[in-house]
Amino acid sequence: MTDRVLVFDTTLRDGEQSPGASMTISEKMMLAEQLERLRVDVIEAGFPISSEGDFESVRSIAEKIRTITIAGLARASKGDIDRCWEAVKAAAKPRIHVFIATSDIHLKYKLKKNRDEVLAEARQAVAYAKSLCPDVEFSAEDSTRSDLAYLARVVEAVIDAGANVVNIPDTVGYTFPTEYAERIQYLRSHVPNIGKAILSVHCHNDLGLAVANSLIAVQNGVRQVECTVNGIGERAGNASLEEIAMALRTRKDLFGIETGIKTEEIYPSSAMVTNLTGMIVQPNKAIVGRNAFAHEAGIHQDGVIKEKLTYEIMRPEDVGIKESKLVMGKHSGRHALRKKYEELGFNLSDAELEKAYILLKKVADKKKDVFDEDLIVTVRDALRIAPPVYKVKNIQSIAGNQVIATATILLEKEGTLLQDSATGDGPVDAVLKAVNRITGMEGKLIEYTVHSVTHGADAVGEVFMKVDFGKVSFIGRAASLDIVDASARAYVDAVNKMIPYQMALEVHNGKK
């Protein structure tokens, strides 16, 4: 059997501590279900004593998610541990995660205790947690700035007290790979009972080394990594789950170690975290950035068209990015095109296919990549369909914490004004529903991001959304001083792309 490293996801705990990333209980549940599909080994669902809301979300996740371990965080005190156990005990596989700082700087300024006191507290807390829960993890907070011999004594004591996982976190993002490797090797050779526990790491990205530090730790015998989706977390964030999972998979030749991650769920997980937290992934972010698999340079593109392996070390589909572009190079021909059209619902005759192929070759010569939208435009032109276009004329929305969000929208279609209103969960939802009522479309938002393109209180917000209409999805984009207005215009933009597709499908299939 191949060696396996456990993936401990802390998006819901450490990730949620990112400024502005707080999620509601139902949003956390949605994310926990996605993490289950991603097949992480442990979900750290929250810090139960920190708030009523955190307690409630850990408790409901523990009840609902049955296939993986659900951990809650607790300081090394009876009150924290009791509250944590109360929250996780309904889980199929509960874990109590106890932590205390071990660096002199934390002991002196934060805990105001000496080393022996902290060691005794750590031992007691772990023993108490173990009396409640069979799975106990201990973290030595700020371990990378702790005295090594003292750290070894703490690790030995907590394993002796029953900790089956011991975490050596780089809480402040301070260590370097070579130094971290030495620290882990020291513990492995100086702690007599180290074999009784799984060693874990938890790295922060203050110096951009969180993933590198996590990977060197794995190479030095660590078998649990703590990480977050998109690398979100306090300050510069945590080690990014997707980068660790894909590094271990892509360089299996080097590591010989597997994770249980279903990599095809990486991109959907990343998109969900972006949507729920509003924290946009930088376009050049490894694995999940919008440009991670885009080749712009001519020479690269030529290589990729000839053979993907020339410049791609991973395939986008392996991380769950559905390729909507069709490369019309030498190797893709009529067969690929027919298949693509079939996916979109068009069964073209040989003559129609030939016509489409010639038209698309021209498009491909100009822009290399052909997208679903181009394929649809080709059919539309071939069928001579002139689709109507909706224009946003006016929007009124009412929202607030005491009123039901309501929106009224006035659209123009071929010179006719159409108006309708709807209520929703918030003003954006209401305005999209009002658009649905007029257009008869039923789009589902699968990505939604807002960012300001100018600064200050009167900043212009740009809304980017991906709208799923069933077989196809379209991107809508719009900018406005008002987010509701921008959202409505972006949604109408996507609807205007969907209409020709629907019409083409109807005309084409009707004529068969």
State the residues that interact with Zn ion by CB under 5 A: 14
What does DSSP assign to residue 217?
H
Residue 475 tokens, joined = 């991107």
Q: CA-to-CA distance for 81 and 162, rounded, in angstroms?
A: 15
Q: Which is nearer to Zn ion, 166 or 392 (CB)?
A: 166
Q: Which is nearer to Zn ion, 57 or 238 (CB)?
A: 238
Q: Which is nearer to Zn ion, 16 or 135 (CB)?
A: 16
Residue 232 tokens, joined = 């979100």
Closest approach, Cβ 175 to Zn ion, in A, equals 13
Q: CA-to-CA distance for 288 and 292, rounded, in angstroms?
A: 6
Residue 360 in 3-state DSSP?
helix
Question: Which amino acid, residue 328?
Answer: M
Closest approach, Cβ 209 to Zn ion, in A, equals 14
Q: Which is nearer to Zn ion, 215 or 395 (CB)?
A: 215
Contact 50, 264 (CB under 8 A): no
Question: Which amino acid, residue 131?
Answer: S
CA atoms within 13 A on the CB side of 247: 18
Candidates 433, 18, 4; CA nearest to 234 is: 18
Q: Which is nearer to Zn ion, 47 or 491 (CB)?
A: 47
What does DSSP assign to residue 165?
E
What does DSSP assign to residue 134?
S
Q: Which is nearer to Zn ion, 239 or 395 (CB)?
A: 239
Contact 222, 201 (CB under 8 A): yes
* Total residues belonging to the chain: 512
Closest approach, Cβ 116 to Zn ion, in A, equals 26
Closest approach, Cβ 170 to Zn ion, in A, equals 9
Question: Which amino acid, residue 67?
Answer: T
Q: Which is nearer to Zn ion, 75 or 380 (CB)?
A: 75
Closest approach, Cβ 145 to Zn ion, in A, equals 14
Closest approach, Cβ 169 to Zn ion, in A, equals 6
Closest approach, Cβ 62 to Zn ion, in A, equals 21
Q: Which is nearer to Zn ion, 45 or 407 (CB)?
A: 45
3-state secondary structure 34-83: HHHHHCCCEEEEECHHHCHHHHHHHHHHHHHCCCCEEEEEEECCHHHHHH
Non-local (6+) Cβ contacts of 205 within 8 A are 173, 211, 231, 233, 235, 236, 237, 238, 239
User: Residue number with the shortest CB distance to Zn ion?
Assistant: 14
Closest approach, Cβ 498 to Zn ion, in A, equals 43
Backbone angles phi, psi at 101, to 5 degrees: -75, 145
Q: Which residues of 40-65 are buried (b: 16+ CB within 10 A; e: fewer)?
A: bbbbbbbbbbeeeebbebbbbbbeeb
Closest approach, Cβ 238 to Zn ion, in A, equals 6
Closest approach, Cβ 228 to Zn ion, in A, equals 9
Query: Is residue 201 within a helix (H) or strand (E), and if so which, with residue range?
Result: strand 198-202
Query: Is residue 464 within a helix (H) or strand (E), and if so which, with residue range?
Result: strand 461-468
Closest approach, Cβ 168 to Zn ion, in A, equals 12
The position carrying tokens 């009707």 is 510
Q: Which is nearer to Zn ion, 34 or 171 (CB)?
A: 171
Backbone angles phi, psi at 454, to 5 degrees: -130, 170
Q: CA-to-CA distance for 141 and 107, rounded, in angstroms?
A: 10
Closest approach, Cβ 177 to Zn ion, in A, equals 18
Q: CA-to-CA distance for 475 and 484, rounded, in angstroms?
A: 17
Q: CA-to-CA distance for 318 and 443, rounded, in angstroms?
A: 26
